[in-house]
Amino acid sequence: MTKAKAIWALGLTIAFETSHAQEVYLQGGTQGVGIGAALNIYSWFGLHADFNALSFPRSWSVGGNRYDTTVRLRQGGIYGDFFPWSNSGFRIVAGLRFNDNEVSGNSVPTNGTYTFEGKTTPAFPGEYATVTVKWPTVMPYLGVGYGFQPKAKGFGLTAELGVAYGMPRSTYTLSPALAQAAGPAMSQEIIATGLQQVQEKASPFRWYPTLQIGVSYRF
Protein backbone atom coordinates (compact mmCIF):
# COMPACT_ATOMS: atom_id res chain seq x y z
CA MET A 1 0.00 0.00 0.00
CA THR A 2 1.42 3.42 -0.97
CA LYS A 3 1.50 6.27 1.53
CA ALA A 4 -0.99 8.25 -0.55
CA LYS A 5 -3.47 5.35 -0.49
CA ALA A 6 -2.91 4.81 3.22
CA ILE A 7 -3.57 8.48 4.01
CA TRP A 8 -6.73 8.46 1.86
CA ALA A 9 -7.93 5.29 3.56
CA LEU A 10 -7.31 6.77 6.99
CA GLY A 11 -9.03 10.03 6.08
CA LEU A 12 -12.11 8.25 4.77
CA THR A 13 -12.26 6.04 7.85
CA ILE A 14 -12.07 9.00 10.23
CA ALA A 15 -14.69 10.89 8.19
CA PHE A 16 -17.03 7.87 8.27
CA GLU A 17 -16.46 7.22 11.94
CA THR A 18 -16.93 10.90 12.84
CA SER A 19 -20.30 10.95 11.03
CA HIS A 20 -21.39 7.94 13.11
CA ALA A 21 -19.36 8.75 16.23
CA GLN A 22 -20.67 8.72 19.73
CA GLU A 23 -17.59 10.57 20.95
CA VAL A 24 -15.02 12.97 19.46
CA TYR A 25 -11.78 14.08 21.04
CA LEU A 26 -8.73 16.32 20.88
CA GLN A 27 -5.41 15.02 22.12
CA GLY A 28 -1.72 15.78 22.42
CA GLY A 29 1.47 13.93 23.28
CA THR A 30 4.43 12.24 21.68
CA GLN A 31 2.55 11.83 18.37
CA GLY A 32 1.81 15.54 18.28
CA VAL A 33 -1.57 17.27 18.35
CA GLY A 34 -4.51 15.40 16.88
CA ILE A 35 -8.22 14.75 16.51
CA GLY A 36 -10.22 11.55 16.62
CA ALA A 37 -13.59 9.87 16.94
CA ALA A 38 -14.82 6.83 18.86
CA LEU A 39 -17.73 4.45 18.35
CA ASN A 40 -19.00 1.86 20.82
CA ILE A 41 -20.32 -1.31 19.21
CA TYR A 42 -20.83 -3.45 22.33
CA SER A 43 -20.41 -2.75 26.03
CA TRP A 44 -17.09 -4.57 25.88
CA PHE A 45 -15.85 -3.45 22.45
CA GLY A 46 -15.52 -0.26 20.44
CA LEU A 47 -13.52 1.43 17.69
CA HIS A 48 -11.63 4.67 17.47
CA ALA A 49 -9.61 6.43 14.77
CA ASP A 50 -7.35 9.46 14.93
CA PHE A 51 -4.80 11.61 13.13
CA ASN A 52 -1.85 13.43 14.73
CA ALA A 53 0.98 15.64 13.48
CA LEU A 54 4.15 17.25 14.83
CA SER A 55 7.35 18.72 13.37
CA PHE A 56 10.52 19.90 15.12
CA PRO A 57 14.28 20.34 14.50
CA ARG A 58 16.76 17.84 15.90
CA SER A 59 20.57 17.71 15.83
CA TRP A 60 22.33 14.39 16.25
CA SER A 61 25.74 12.85 15.75
CA VAL A 62 26.57 9.87 13.53
CA GLY A 63 30.07 8.59 12.86
CA GLY A 64 31.74 11.68 14.29
CA ASN A 65 29.72 14.17 12.22
CA ARG A 66 26.78 16.33 13.25
CA TYR A 67 23.54 16.38 11.27
CA ASP A 68 20.87 19.07 11.51
CA THR A 69 17.59 17.36 10.71
CA THR A 70 13.86 17.94 10.80
CA VAL A 71 11.64 15.36 12.46
CA ARG A 72 8.26 15.25 10.71
CA LEU A 73 5.58 13.12 12.32
CA ARG A 74 2.26 12.59 10.52
CA GLN A 75 0.42 9.55 11.72
CA GLY A 76 -2.97 8.19 12.55
CA GLY A 77 -4.58 4.88 13.23
CA ILE A 78 -7.60 2.62 13.35
CA TYR A 79 -7.96 0.74 16.64
CA GLY A 80 -10.17 -1.73 18.46
CA ASP A 81 -10.90 -1.03 22.15
CA PHE A 82 -11.54 -3.97 24.47
CA PHE A 83 -13.11 -3.20 27.87
CA PRO A 84 -12.43 -6.07 30.30
CA TRP A 85 -14.59 -4.48 33.03
CA SER A 86 -18.00 -3.12 32.15
CA ASN A 87 -17.96 -0.45 34.88
CA SER A 88 -14.49 0.87 34.05
CA GLY A 89 -13.04 3.04 31.32
CA PHE A 90 -9.85 0.96 31.24
CA ARG A 91 -9.30 -0.57 27.82
CA ILE A 92 -6.86 -2.75 25.91
CA VAL A 93 -6.10 -1.39 22.45
CA ALA A 94 -4.98 -3.16 19.27
CA GLY A 95 -4.89 -1.81 15.74
CA LEU A 96 -2.93 -0.40 12.83
CA ARG A 97 -1.02 2.85 12.67
CA PHE A 98 -0.55 4.65 9.35
CA ASN A 99 2.63 6.71 9.07
CA ASP A 100 4.25 9.39 7.00
CA ASN A 101 7.04 9.83 9.55
CA GLU A 102 10.44 11.02 8.37
CA VAL A 103 13.71 12.34 9.76
CA SER A 104 15.83 14.13 7.15
CA GLY A 105 18.66 16.63 7.04
CA ASN A 106 22.23 17.46 6.11
CA SER A 107 25.61 17.16 7.75
CA VAL A 108 27.08 20.28 9.36
CA PRO A 109 30.87 20.80 9.60
CA THR A 110 32.48 20.81 13.04
CA ASN A 111 35.13 23.54 13.21
CA GLY A 112 35.13 23.58 9.42
CA THR A 113 35.87 19.86 9.01
CA TYR A 114 34.22 16.48 8.43
CA THR A 115 35.35 13.07 9.61
CA PHE A 116 34.80 10.30 7.06
CA GLU A 117 36.35 6.83 7.23
CA GLY A 118 38.35 7.96 10.27
CA LYS A 119 39.96 10.84 8.33
CA THR A 120 39.35 14.51 9.09
CA THR A 121 39.13 16.70 6.01
CA PRO A 122 38.24 20.37 5.39
CA ALA A 123 34.60 21.05 4.55
CA PHE A 124 34.05 23.47 1.69
CA PRO A 125 30.78 25.21 0.69
CA GLY A 126 28.30 22.87 -0.96
CA GLU A 127 29.88 19.74 0.55
CA TYR A 128 27.49 17.81 2.76
CA ALA A 129 25.91 14.42 3.28
CA THR A 130 22.14 13.93 3.44
CA VAL A 131 20.44 11.39 5.69
CA THR A 132 16.81 10.27 5.70
CA VAL A 133 14.99 7.82 7.94
CA LYS A 134 11.43 6.70 7.15
CA TRP A 135 9.11 4.35 8.99
CA PRO A 136 6.82 1.78 7.32
CA THR A 137 3.52 3.09 6.00
CA VAL A 138 1.57 0.62 8.17
CA MET A 139 2.65 -0.58 11.64
CA PRO A 140 0.87 -2.89 14.12
CA TYR A 141 0.05 -1.32 17.48
CA LEU A 142 -0.76 -2.50 21.02
CA GLY A 143 -1.55 -0.39 24.05
CA VAL A 144 -3.66 0.34 27.09
CA GLY A 145 -5.83 3.34 27.71
CA TYR A 146 -8.68 5.01 29.54
CA GLY A 147 -11.84 6.52 28.09
CA PHE A 148 -14.43 5.91 25.33
CA GLN A 149 -16.55 3.71 27.62
CA PRO A 150 -20.32 4.34 27.19
CA LYS A 151 -21.50 6.94 29.70
CA ALA A 152 -23.61 10.06 30.04
CA LYS A 153 -23.29 12.81 27.48
CA GLY A 154 -20.68 15.48 28.07
CA PHE A 155 -16.96 15.96 28.46
CA GLY A 156 -14.48 13.32 29.53
CA LEU A 157 -10.78 12.49 29.63
CA THR A 158 -8.83 10.08 27.45
CA ALA A 159 -5.34 8.67 27.83
CA GLU A 160 -3.42 6.02 25.95
CA LEU A 161 0.01 4.44 26.26
CA GLY A 162 1.20 2.02 23.60
CA VAL A 163 3.86 0.88 21.20
CA ALA A 164 3.94 0.33 17.44
CA TYR A 165 6.48 -1.80 15.59
CA GLY A 166 8.15 -1.22 12.24
CA MET A 167 11.75 -1.28 11.00
CA PRO A 168 12.78 2.18 9.73
CA ARG A 169 14.40 2.48 6.30
CA SER A 170 17.42 4.75 5.83
CA THR A 171 19.24 6.46 2.96
CA TYR A 172 22.60 8.23 2.85
CA THR A 173 23.75 10.37 -0.09
CA LEU A 174 26.50 12.88 -0.84
CA SER A 175 26.09 16.29 -2.43
CA PRO A 176 27.63 16.57 -5.93
CA ALA A 177 30.41 18.79 -4.59
CA LEU A 178 31.35 16.34 -1.82
CA ALA A 179 31.16 13.34 -4.18
CA GLN A 180 33.45 15.12 -6.66
CA ALA A 181 35.95 16.09 -3.95
CA ALA A 182 36.04 12.57 -2.53
CA GLY A 183 36.23 10.76 -5.87
CA PRO A 184 34.18 7.71 -6.98
CA ALA A 185 35.91 5.05 -4.85
CA MET A 186 35.97 7.05 -1.62
CA SER A 187 32.41 8.27 -2.20
CA GLN A 188 31.17 4.68 -2.30
CA GLU A 189 33.04 3.88 0.92
CA ILE A 190 31.64 6.97 2.66
CA ILE A 191 28.09 6.15 1.53
CA ALA A 192 28.31 2.50 2.60
CA THR A 193 29.77 3.35 6.01
CA GLY A 194 27.39 6.28 6.56
CA LEU A 195 24.36 4.18 5.67
CA GLN A 196 25.41 1.46 8.09
CA GLN A 197 25.92 4.02 10.88
CA VAL A 198 22.54 5.63 10.27
CA GLN A 199 20.79 2.25 10.21
CA GLU A 200 22.43 1.28 13.51
CA LYS A 201 21.31 4.60 15.00
CA ALA A 202 17.72 4.19 13.76
CA SER A 203 17.29 0.46 14.43
CA PRO A 204 16.26 0.77 18.14
CA PHE A 205 13.36 2.99 17.05
CA ARG A 206 11.63 0.05 15.37
CA TRP A 207 9.79 -0.08 18.71
CA TYR A 208 7.82 3.17 18.62
CA PRO A 209 6.32 4.05 22.04
CA THR A 210 3.70 6.78 22.32
CA LEU A 211 1.68 8.55 25.00
CA GLN A 212 -1.38 10.68 24.23
CA ILE A 213 -3.74 12.53 26.60
CA GLY A 214 -6.90 14.27 25.52
CA VAL A 215 -10.34 15.71 26.16
CA SER A 216 -13.44 14.09 24.65
CA TYR A 217 -17.09 14.94 24.20
CA ARG A 218 -19.83 12.31 24.03
CA PHE A 219 -23.01 13.16 22.15
At residue 158's C-alpha, the angle toward residues 157 and 160, to 5°, is 155
Q: Is 204 helix (H, G, I), strand (E, B) or coil?
A: helix
pLDDT at site 88: 87
Decide if 81 contacts 148 (C-beta within 8 A). yes
Return the higher-pLDDT residue of 193 and 21: 193
Class of the 3-218 domain? mainly beta
Return the higher-pLDDT residue of 210 and 5: 210
Q: How far is the CA of 187 from the CAs of 129, 131, 159, 172, 181, in angstroms? A: 10, 15, 48, 11, 9
Per-residue confidence at 117, pLDDT binned at 50, 70, 90?
confident
Backbone Cα Rg of the chain: 22
| Residue 53 CA to its chain's centroid (Å) | 9
Give the start-to-end residue ranges of the domains of the chain: 3-218
Amino acid identity, residue 151?
Answer: K
Round to whole Å and give the CA distance between 188 and 173: 10
pLDDT at site 96: 96
Round to whole Å and give the CA distance between 100 and 165: 14
pLDDT at site 22: 86
154-186 confidence digits (pLDDT tens): 899 999 999 999 999 999 999 999 999 999 999
